[in-house]
């Protein structure tokens, strides 16, 4: 059965200021949706609210997946349901290797996996095997797993860590948020190739982007424009092309007529 992530009339405030003002969106497994929109339109707010970040206060609305309103679940339970938002690491964690971090993340999200001894968690040998498979799939050099988390990571390497985490957690829905300053070309390629390698009938993607550029590498099935906390326009890939020509301001003016 194909799952869908259904966002209904989502209203979210940050520091008592209403940012999302009734957001509606439906994403099915197997689909790639691009969310575009100018800075400050609420794209990242949507991502954090879906993940359950405590700073983002849900004022109204529902987010349904498999018959459950995710907004009633704690962040870790949402992840267990199959929702992925890459954790944001503000700092490096010295002494924690990528491999160790990823195993901890997999065990936390897929905690029902027993190692056969009655203990929870994937045995190291089995985890190594899966990690190697995923790194092959994503064409990531094996030495990457031995690096310490975020220590001296370039933009591209941070994205590589994010995509590798995604590949291991195998979520039903993944939300990827491009930084507002955009990604450098290395990071852009990592993200695009990762999405293209990991898209499939069991996975839906929400790719958030300020710039049209990433859509030269990822072909979304649907494009949505967010403005002032709402989706103001939805369409196919041609909408992104149109936006590149007209810009957000023109689109919003057209809408206001």
Ligand X SMILES: Nc1ncnc2c1ncn2[C@@H]1O[C@H](COP(=O)(O)OP(=O)(O)O)[C@@H](O)[C@H]1O
Confirm or reject binding of residue 19 to ligand X (CB under 6 A): yes
| Matching residue, tokens 């689909």 | 31
Name the strand (E) or helix (H) holding 138: none
Per CB under 6 A, the list member of 45, 165, 192, 209 interacting with ligand X is: 45
Residue 52 interacts with, from ligand X, Mg ion, none (CB under 5-8 Å by kind): none
15 vs 238, which CB is nearer to ligand X? 15
Confirm or reject binding of residue 209 to ligand X (CB under 6 A): no
Q: Are 196 and 218 in contact (CB under 8 A)?
A: yes
11 vs 44, which CB is nearer to ligand X? 44
Per CB under 6 A, the list member of 11, 25, 36, 37 interacting with ligand X is: 37
Confirm or reject binding of residue 201 to ligand X (CB under 6 A): no
| Measured distance CA(124)–CA(99) in Å, rounded | 10
Confirm or reject binding of residue 15 to ligand X (CB under 6 A): yes
Q: Are 194 and 163 in contact (CB under 8 A)?
A: yes
For residue 180, CA distances in Å to 36, 82, 115, 208 come to: 11, 26, 41, 10
User: Torsion over CA of 218, 219, 223 and 227, rounded to 10 degrees?
Assistant: 20
At closest approach, how far in Å is the CB of 248 from ligand X?
11
Per CB under 6 A, the list member of 6, 14, 58, 252 interacting with ligand X is: 14
Residue 160 interacts with, from Mg ion, ligand X, none (CB under 5-8 Å by kind): none
């Amino acid at each position: 059965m194909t799952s869908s992530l259904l966002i209904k009339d989502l209203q979210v405030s940050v520091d008592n200021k209403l940012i999302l003002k009734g957001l509606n969106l439906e994403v099915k497994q197997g689909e790639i949706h691009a969310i575009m929109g100018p800075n400050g339109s609420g794209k990242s707010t949507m991502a954090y609210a879906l993940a359950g970040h405590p700073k983002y206060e849900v004022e109204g609305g529902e987010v349904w997946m498999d018959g459950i309103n995710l907004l009633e679940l704690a962040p870790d339970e949402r992840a267990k349901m199959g929702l992925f938002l890459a954790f944001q690491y503000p700092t490096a964690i010295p002494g924690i290797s990528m491999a160790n971090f990823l195993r901890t993340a997999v065990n936390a999200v897929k905690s029902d996996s027993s190692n056969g001894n009655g203990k929870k968690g994937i045995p190291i040998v089995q985890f190594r095997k899966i990690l190697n498979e995923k790194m092959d799939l994503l064409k990531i050099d094996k030495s990457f797993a031995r690096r310490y988390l975020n220590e001296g990571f370039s933009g591209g390497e941070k994205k590589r860590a994010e995509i590798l985490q995604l590949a291991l957690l195998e979520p039903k829905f993944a939300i990827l948020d491009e930084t507002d300053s955009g990604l450098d070309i290395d990071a852009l390629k990592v993200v695009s190739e990762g999405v293209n390698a990991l898209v499939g009938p069991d996975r839906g993607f929400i790719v958030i982007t300020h710039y049209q550029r990433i859509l030269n590498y990822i072909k979304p099935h649907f494009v949505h424009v967010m403005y002032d906390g709402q989706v103001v326009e939805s369409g196919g890939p041609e909408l992104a092309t149109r936006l590149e020509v007209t810009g957000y301001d023109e689109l919003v003016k057209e809408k206001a007529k």
